[in-house]
Amino acid sequence: QAKLSGKNCYVVFDEDMREHLVQRINTERELSKAIKDDQLILHYQPVINLKTGQIAGCEALVRWQHPEKGLLNPDQFIPIAESSNLIHPLGQWVLESACRQWCEWRRTVFCGLELSLSVNLSPVQFYDEGLLRILPGLLSKYQFSPGELALEITETVLIRDTRKAARVIDKIKALGVEVHLDDFGTGYSSLSHLSEFPIDLIKIDRSFVMQCVESKKHHRVVSGILNLAHELDLPCIAEGIETQDQLWQLQQQGCEYGQGYYIYRPLNVEQMAKVLNTREAEGQEQEATY
């Protein structure tokens, strides 16, 4: 390996690359500090039941409150975390923080309602044995009921190593944790592959939802995904609903759940608590009328 890198790297390793590498190392260093110094925060985007209009739960989305650069989105640092070892402490921070917050909300704001929390997993985390080691502790510490926590993975995770993926999903599910397939339709897995994995729900990618009203083709893709999912008894969440028309259309097509700026943007902790609080008020009102 030394022989290979010697000559080849010397030739292509120019000033631009050096600059790039230095920047990357700096970002890695900053990110490592950010995880320890609590510069990471979570926002929460509600998931709505499209039949009743009521909130069904929410998805935790990580942000980096950078001291100089302001609030950074996951696209700006998750890839760096994934290509270094930082995805492990970062992923663990997200899981623990989201579960702790959820437990607090369950006790103080939405007690008694069946809502669920979704957390995104990076492929590295999914295949790391550490995940299955920490999950049971988190579930009991934060008193999760079966089905109350869901982990979101993408299709690429499944096709990387199909046998291992199926085994990991089985183990996650044995703990009472659901597995949701995120960004569905963008990966390479064929639809028929789907039945081989014991997943619990499909999230239809935003790119299809975005054009489901204007484009006949996208409309049909959404229908196709919904039909297939329902054939397999899997409910769906439509991601990225931005207009009333899209919402209406998805309701017509029988999609169970929805998420998107038109319904709710990702919210900070206070805003999310308010939304959960309203939901409880609604629940009580309804009970009172029966």
Residues in the chain: 290
> Which residue intervals of 78-215 are DSSP H helices?
78-83, 87-108, 123-127, 129-141, 155-160, 162-174, 206-210
Is the CB of 119 or the CB of 165 nearer to Mg ion? 119
Q: Binding of ligand C2E at residue 94 (CB under 6 A)?
A: yes
The single-letter code of the amino acid at 38 is D
Is the CB of 27 or the CB of 120 nearer to Mg ion? 120
The single-letter code of the amino acid at 176 is G
Provide the 3-class DSSP secondary structure of residue 214. Answer: coil
Is the CB of 72 or the CB of 115 nearer to ligand C2E? 72
Q: How many CB atoms lie within 10 A of CB 283?
A: 14
Q: Binding of Mg ion at residue 182 (CB under 5 A)?
A: yes
Find out whether 26 and 80 touch, Cβ atoms under 8 Å: no
* Contacted entry of Mg ion, ligand C2E, none for residue 46, CB cut-off 5 to 8 Å set by kind: none
- Footprint of ligand C2E on residues 143-202 (CB under 6 A)? 152, 182-183
Is the CB of 30 or the CB of 152 nearer to Mg ion? 152
Is the CB of 28 or the CB of 280 nearer to ligand C2E? 28
Q: For ligand C2E, which residue of 27, 101, 116, 120 counts as binding (CB under 6 A)?
A: 120
Closest to 188 in 3D by CA, of 157, 223, 229: 157
Count of residues binding Mg ion (CB under 5 A)? 5
Q: Binding of ligand C2E at residue 266 (CB under 6 A)?
A: yes
Closest to 210 in 3D by CA, of 254, 237, 245: 245
Q: How far is the CB of 200 from Mg ion (least distance, A)?
A: 14
H-run or E-run covering 71: strand 70-72
Q: How many CB atoms lie within 10 A of CB 174?
A: 9
The piece of 25-33, 80-88, 225-233, 239-247 that touches Mg ion (CB under 5 A) is 239-247
Q: How far is the CB of 42 from Mg ion (least distance, A)?
A: 13
**CA 137 from centroid of its chain's CA atoms:** 21
Find out whether 243 and 254 touch, Cβ atoms under 8 Å: no
Is the CB of 30 or the CB of 183 nearer to ligand C2E? 183
Contacts with ligand C2E by CB under 6 A lie at 45, 61-62, 73-75, 78, 91, 94, 120-122, 152, 182-183, 206, 239-242, 259-261, 266
